[in-house]
Amino acid sequence: MDILQIFLSESFWAASLRIATPLIFGVMGALLCERAGVLNLGIEGIFAAGAMAGWMAVWLGAPLWLGVGAAACAGAFFGALHATLTVPLGLSQHVSGLGITMLATSASYFLYRTALPDVTSPPRITPFQPLNWPVVSDIPFIGPVFFGQTALTWLALFTVLAVWWLLARTPLGVALKAVGDNPDAVNAQGLSVYRLRFGAVMAGSALMAIGGAFLTMSAFDAFFFGMVNGRGWICIALVIFASWRPGRALFGAILFGMFDALQVRLQTEAGAVVPSQVFLMTPYVLSIIALVLVARKADYPRALLQPWFKGQR
Amino acid sequence: MQIEQRQSQNPLIGLLVPVASALVALALAAIPLAFAGADIGAAYQQMWQGVFGSRFAFTEMLTRATPLIFTGLAAAIAFQARLWNIGAEGQLYLGALAAVWVGTGMIDGPMVLMIPLVIFAGAVAGGLGMVGPAYLRTRFGADEVVTSLLLNFIILIFVQMMLEGPFKDPMGLGWPQSEPIIEAAALPKLMPKMRIHAGLILALICAVVAQVMLTRSTWGFRVRAVGANPAAARHAGINVNRTLMGVAMISGALAGLAGVSEVAGLKGYLTADLSPGFGYTGIVVAMLAGLSPVGVVISALFIASVFVGADSMSRAMGVSSYLADLTVALSLICVIVGGFFGRFRIRFGQGAAA
């Protein structure tokens, strides 16, 4: 199989989109937070919390969509904690975010172990199934790539559209962007900087958690330790790569999914000649290269990382 | 409600805040304990026993604290200059890899030569690991939080590649592990039959040197000036980029020493699971210490106590061992909130407006 054949295969594109799905949720969540001026390094832990909460809810008998809701609530909870620390208290966003990652990850693992003390093979749930709608699924290429996905992938694509529409077309979106650029101006307009930032961080964190839930409720059918495996950090890199634009973030996530899918296929092909680890490294190396290329002309939200206090300039 | 800065900085508060935060974190750990259905009083007693109950327990705690002092110092020094080194985990593995490279028979010399050589190699390797992200930040403006973090993954995969390739021990029964460090290169044990080793002495020396350098030297002044206000530092004629590169090198070197100490002092050979996240825990250690190098020693001892104590408690009480990680994470959250109340006070009601 040569590279051209890989690019022509349906399974490659379907895999790319599947791998991109949690990243799309994560990068949209991170983008919302950062557009409002709050960096959320809690994402790696919020992914774990979402994966855990979604899986646990379904395992306890909830319907799948209620599991997604449970994940979103878990994400919003940790988002609220991060927002409390960084918005009114104005504490270091870097440190608070890392703290959230540690807290959410260890809390998820602790809960899982407490619920299932002696289980060696993780119990399985029935995850979201591929849509496989009649007629459209039979369309060559488009059918398997798009309609062979689960509902969560569609939700991810819809989320991109929703975030784009929110930021570009609604007064709320204008206010959100302004609060990440110039909170003083927003305050002068009589809007609450605190409320806008709180809302953005909670909503963004809920999205991140749904990305985590995709892992346990669609990609796999169980929760296991270390399953997030750095995906959260990749999302942080992707936001910068995307210059805080939803469309480019979608592009970046799918590009990353392609590299990852390509890596698996090349590995089986060239595994004998090149150590498999070289391929495992490439997504991370490419992320760093993309960061360096984009960093120079990056259009940061100007108030990113800067605390704002009411009545104090 | 209004937040206002405290007029005077009471030095007692600076000392009290971390202690109170640590105690609050320990108290908060009772919530998951209760959730797991454990007898809380017995659990805390068991935790205490697990650290101070025997000489073995206590030396185990010191052994656990050793890499945390190194990674805590690595974070503290970088953070003082507002260089966000989140890559200590990777730098630890680079240091360990270099130590194994030099120490498994590449050179065969006497102890007085081999030990300094292994330490030097590990420090240089770790230092180079942070120079990359620092260069990308100073030259291209690429955020070092993300680059140093992503580098952790790259380095760990690289270490796995080395352990399955050129560094693989042919006698390792197929396990991906390095050859053992030769005896002349191993850090001596401090007590017979205990695991505690000379890495602890090295860590304490590093902490004292770092403290003196940061508070008493012009270099330390430059580092703190860059951290406090880079623009003002530049205006005052400080070469900000060069200072950052120096800080990066030293921070990475300290993290590298954590790897050397674990490999040459404790384990004897390198595996890909050498560190259970010492690099990340070092960030908590540094924050708990208020970024003071001597404080790092104390907070590393505390965090190590939490880990060792909670481990022994979880075994005795049948509670998940992730309780230790959870308590450490709670400590980080508590200490940053505590730091806030050390610097600010909150006023309620009418008086706030005045």
Tens of pLDDT along chain B (354 residues)? 666 777 666 777 777 888 888 899 999 999 999 998 889 999 999 999 999 999 999 999 999 999 999 999 999 999 999 999 999 999 999 999 999 999 987 788 898 999 999 999 999 999 999 999 999 999 998 889 889 999 999 999 999 999 988 899 888 787 889 999 998 889 999 988 889 999 999 999 999 999 999 999 999 999 999 999 999 999 999 999 999 999 999 999 999 999 999 999 999 999 999 999 999 999 999 988 989 999 999 999 999 999 999 999 988 888 888 999 999 999 999 988 988 887 777 766 554 443
**3-state DSSP assignment of residue A311:** coil
Chain B CB contacts of A91 under 8 Å are 336-337, 339-340
Chain A CB contacts of B332 under 8 Å are 95, 98-99, 102-103
The DSSP symbol for B181 reads: P
Residues 6+ positions from A25 with CB-CB distance below 8 Å: A156, A159, A207, A208, A210, A211, A214
Of A100, A110, A234, the CB nearest to B322: A110
Give residue A293's pLDDT.
85
Q: Which amino acid is at A73?
A: C
Interface of A with B in 22-41 (CB under 8 A): 41
Residue A106 is encoded by which pair of tokens? 């260890």
Chain A CB contacts of B310 under 8 Å are none
Give the helix ranges, DSSP H, for A170-227: 171-181, 183-188, 193-214
Residue-wise pLDDT for A36-64, tens only, equals 999 999 999 999 999 999 999 999 999 99
Residue-wise pLDDT for B250-268, tens only, equals 999 999 999 999 999 999 9
Hey, is the C-beta of B2 within 8 angstroms of any chain A C-beta?
Answer: yes
Q: Which range, A146-150, A301-305, B103-107, B297-301, is most confident?
A: B297-301
Torsion angle of the four alpha carbons B259, B54, B205, B77, in this order, in degrees rounded to the nearest 10? 60
Chain A CB contacts of B32 under 8 Å are 107, 110, 114
Hey, is the C-beta of A121 within 8 angstroms of any chain B C-beta?
Answer: no
Q: Is B188 exposed, middle or buried (0-12, 13-18, 19+ CB in 10 A)?
A: exposed
The residue in chain B having the minimum alpha-carbon distance to the alpha carbon of residue A235 is B146
Residue-wise pLDDT for A180-238, tens only, equals 999 999 999 989 999 999 999 999 999 999 999 999 999 999 998 889 988 999 999 89
* Maximal CA-CA distance, chain A: 65
Cα-flanking dihedrals φ and ψ of residue B3, to 5°? -100, 125
Yes or no: say if B125 and B256 are a contact pair by the CB < 8 Å rule: yes
Hey, is the C-beta of B149 within 8 angstroms of any chain A C-beta?
Answer: yes
Hey, is the C-beta of B328 within 8 angstroms of any chain A C-beta?
Answer: yes
Expressed in angstroms, the distance from the first to the final Cα of chain B is: 12
What is the number of CB-based contacts under 8 A between chain A and chain B? 135
Instruction: Tell me the C-alpha distance between A94 and A224, whole Å.
Output: 27
Of B84, B86, B140, the CB nearest to A296: B140
Give residue A286's pLDDT.
85
Select from B86, B130, B322 the residue whose CB has the most chain A CBs within 10 Å, as the one to mutate to test that interface: B322
Question: Looking at A65-79, A122-136, B174-188, B202-216, which range is the least confident one?
Answer: A122-136
Torsion angle of the four alpha carbons B65, B66, B67, B73, in this order, in degrees rounded to the nearest 10? 90
The residue in chain A having the minimum alpha-carbon distance to the alpha carbon of residue B2 is A310
Chain B CB contacts of A234 under 8 Å are 150
Hey, is the C-beta of B81 within 8 angstroms of any chain A C-beta?
Answer: no
**What is the rounded average pLDDT for all residues in chain A?**
90
Yes or no: say if B57 and B311 are a contact pair by the CB < 8 Å rule: no
Chain A CB contacts of B321 under 8 Å are 113
Short-list B11, B140, B85, CA closest to A298: B140
Of A88, A95, A284, the CB nearest to B150: A284
How close, in Å, is residue B267 to chain A by CA atoms? Answer: 24
Hey, is the C-beta of B140 within 8 angstroms of any chain A C-beta?
Answer: yes
Which residues in A189-217 are b (16+ Cβ under 10 Å) and which e?
Answer: eebebbebbbbbbbbbbbbbbbbbbbbbb
Give residue A43's pLDDT.
97
Contact criterion met (CB < 8 Å) for A275 and B165: yes
Give residue A52's pLDDT.
96
Hey, is the C-beta of B36 within 8 angstroms of any chain A C-beta?
Answer: yes
Q: CA B286, B288, B291: angle at the middle one, nearest 5? A: 40
Interface of A with B in 281-310 (CB under 8 A): 281, 284-285, 287-288, 291-292, 295-296, 298, 309
How close, in Å, is residue A243 to chain B by CA atoms? Answer: 13
Yes or no: say if B130 and B248 are a contact pair by the CB < 8 Å rule: yes
Give the helix ranges, DSSP H, for B168-272: 199-216, 218-228, 230-235, 240-260
Q: Does residue A2 surpass a pLDDT of 90?
A: no
Contact criterion met (CB < 8 Å) for A281 and B158: yes
Instruction: Tell me the C-alpha distance between A155 and A134, whole Å.
Output: 20
Residue B353 is encoded by which pair of tokens? 């407006």
Interface of B with A in 201-220 (CB under 8 A): none
The DSSP symbol for B178 reads: B
Residue B349's Cβ-side half-sphere holds a number of Cα atoms within 13 Å equal to 1
Give residue B9's pLDDT.
64
Contact criterion met (CB < 8 Å) for B161 and A275: yes
Yes or no: say if B293 and B224 are a contact pair by the CB < 8 Å rule: no
Residues 6+ positions from A261 with CB-CB distance below 8 Å: A12, A15, A16, A19
Instruction: Tell me the C-alpha distance between B201 and B209, whole Å.
Output: 12
Chain A CB contacts of B318 under 8 Å are 117
Short-list B69, B63, B134, B98, CA closest to B299: B69
The residue in chain B having the minimum alpha-carbon distance to the alpha carbon of residue A241 is B142
Contact criterion met (CB < 8 Å) for B332 and A98: yes
Residues 6+ positions from A300 with CB-CB distance below 8 Å: A244
